A and B are shown apart, each in its own frame.
Chain A
Amino acid sequence: MTDTPARIPGERAALIWGVLATILVVVASIGVFLVAPGDADQGIVQRIFYFHVAIAIVSLVAFAVACVAGILFLRTRRERWDDVGEAAIRIGLLFSVLVVITGSIWAKASWGTWWVWSDPRLVTYLIVVLIYAAYFVLRSSAEDDRRMRYSAIYSIAGFASVPLSFYSVRVAESFVHPVVFTRGGANMPGSMLVWFVVSQAAILALFIALLEVELVGRRSERALRQLVLRLENP
C-alpha cells in the first residue's frame, strides 16, 4: 500500500486548462475594455458583444459535445461518456442562461426594452434553455442504466431540436418582420475581430477547464461510492 495516492486522470488537464482560461480571460477583458476601439453606432454598449457572442458559440459547442458523448455512450455503454454528456450539458445550460440574460440586457441598452421577440437569436436561446433544462428533469426521474441511456438519447434529440428552433424562429421573423437586426459581426473591423477571437478562445478554455473539473469531481465521487460499497460488504 502506497501512501501517496495516484493522480486521478484528468487532474493535470483540469489544472492546465484552468490556468490557461484564467490568463485568457484576463487578457480578453483588458483587450475588450481598454484596447478595442469603440463602436461608431452603439458606443460602449457594443462591448457586451465580445463575451455574449463567445459564450453563445461555446454553449452550442457544449451541446455538440454532449450529443457526440450521447452517441458514444449508446455505442460503448461506458459510464465515462454519460459523465461527459451531463457535465457538458450542465455547462452549456449555464452558458445559454448567460446568453439570454446578457442578450436581454443588451436589448434594453440598444432598443429600450428588456425583451424583443423579434430578435431570433435571443428567442432561440430561450427555447434552448427550456430544451436542456428538461434534460435534468428527465435525469432526475430515472435510475442507473435507464438514466444514462435516456440522457444519451435526449442529448441527441435535443441537439437536433436546436437548429430546428433557430431556423423556425428565423423563418417566422423573415416573414413577419423583414428588418433583421445586425449586431456587428459580419463586417467587424480587424482590431475588433482580434479581441473577439481572444474572447472566444478565453470562453472556450473556460468551458474545457470547467468540464475537466466536473469530470474529475465525478470520478472522485464514483471512487468514493465504490470504496463505501467495499467497506459495507468486505
Chain B
Amino acid sequence: MRGRQLAALVRKDLRLELRTRETIVAMVLFAIVMLVILEFGLGTRDGDLTRFAGGLMWVTLAFTAVLGVGRSYVAEREQRVLDGLLVAPVPRVVLLGAKAIAILIYMAAVEVVVIPLVGIFFVKGPYWDSIGWIAITALLADVCIALAGTLFSGLALFTRARDLILPVLFLPALVPVVIAGAGATHAVAGGPHDMSEWRGYCLFLAAYAILFALVSVATYDAVFDD
C-alpha cells in the first residue's frame, strides 16, 4: 500500500519533470558552468588541477544540489498540488520518501555528466579505473543530500524569501558531505588508491544518511502540520 503510494508520488514528480525538463536541464547546465568558472577562478600556472579535482566536483555538486532542492517543491506550491497531497490519506513519511527519491534521481542525472567531466577537465592520472568507486561515493552522498534537502526545503517552503533561506539552512549542513565526498574522491582518483581511506569516508556518509533519515522521519509530520 505504502509502496504503491510512494511509487505513484515519485512517478508524478518524474512525469512532470520529463514533460517540462526544466529542472534537470537547468541543473546540468549550472553544474557545467560552475566547473568552467572554477577552472578559470583557480587557474593554476601549470594547468594541473588534479589535486583539487575532488573538491571541485563536490563544490559543484553541493551548489547544484541547493539549486535542485530549491526547485523540488515549486510545482507543489505554485499549482497547489500540496494542498491536495496533504489532504489525501497518505502518511507524511511517504511524502518525504517520494520527494527524497525524486531529488536523488535528479542528482544522479547531474552526476552522470559531472563525474566524467571532472575527469576530462581536471584529472591528469588514473581516474577512469576508479570511476565505479566514485559513483558509489556519489550515490551515498546523494542519499544524504536528498534526505537533508527534503527536510530543509520543507522548512523553507512557506517562509518569506525562501530562495534565500534554503541555501543558508542547507549549505552548512552539507559541509560534512562535501568534506567526505571530496575526501573519498581524492582517495581513489588521480594517483593514490587508498581504499581504507575511501571506506572511512563512505562509512561516514552512511552514518550521515542514517542520522538525517532518523531526524527527518521523527520531525517530518510537524513540517506540514497546518
Enumerate chain A interface residues (CB-CB to B < 8 A). Answer: 74, 127, 130-131, 134, 137-138, 141-142, 145-146, 149-150, 152-154, 156-158, 160-161, 164-165, 167-169, 171-172, 175
Contact = CB atoms under 8 A, between A and B. Distances in A.
B160 A141 contact: yes
Contacts of B173: 131, 157-158, 161
5 contacts: A137-B169, A157-B151, A157-B173, A157-B212, A171-B180
Contact of B219 (A153, A167, A171): A153
Nearest to A166: B176
A171 B175 contact: no
B157 to A, nearest CB: 10
Contacts of A146: 158-159, 226
Contacts of B162: 141
A122 B215 CA distance: 26
The majority secondary structure among interface residues of chain B is helix
Interface residues of B, number: 38
Interface of B: 148, 151-152, 155-156, 158-162, 165, 168-169, 171-173, 175-176, 179-180, 183, 187, 197, 200-201, 204, 207-208, 211-212, 214-215, 218-219, 222-223, 225-226
B165 A138 contact: yes
Contacts of B222: 74, 149, 152-153
B127 to A, nearest CB: 19
A157 B219 contact: yes
A85 B159 CA distance: 19
Query: Which of A146, A168, A171 gathers most chain B CB within 10 Å?
Result: A168
B172 A130 contact: yes
B176 A165 contact: yes
A154 B170 CA distance: 11
A156 B151 CA distance: 11
B168 A164 contact: no
Nearest to B174: A161
The majority secondary structure among interface residues of chain A is helix
Contacts of A74: 219, 222
Contacts of B160: 141-142
A171 B148 CA distance: 21
B200 A154 contact: no
A183 B218 CA distance: 38
B217 to A, nearest CB: 12
Contacts of A150: 155, 159, 223
Contacts of B158: 142, 146
Contacts of B207: 164, 167
Q: Rank and list the top 5 A-B pairs by shortest CB-CB distance, nearest first.
A: A168-B176, A141-B159, A130-B172, A168-B179, A141-B160
A158 B151 CA distance: 12
Given A74-B222, A171-B179, A171-B183, 15 more contacts: A74-B219, A130-B171, A141-B159, A141-B160, A146-B159, A156-B215, A157-B212, A160-B211, A160-B214, A161-B176, A164-B208, A164-B211, A165-B172, A171-B180, A172-B179
Contact of B204 (A130, A153, A157, A171): A171
A171 B177 CA distance: 12
Contact of B183 (A141, A161, A175): A175
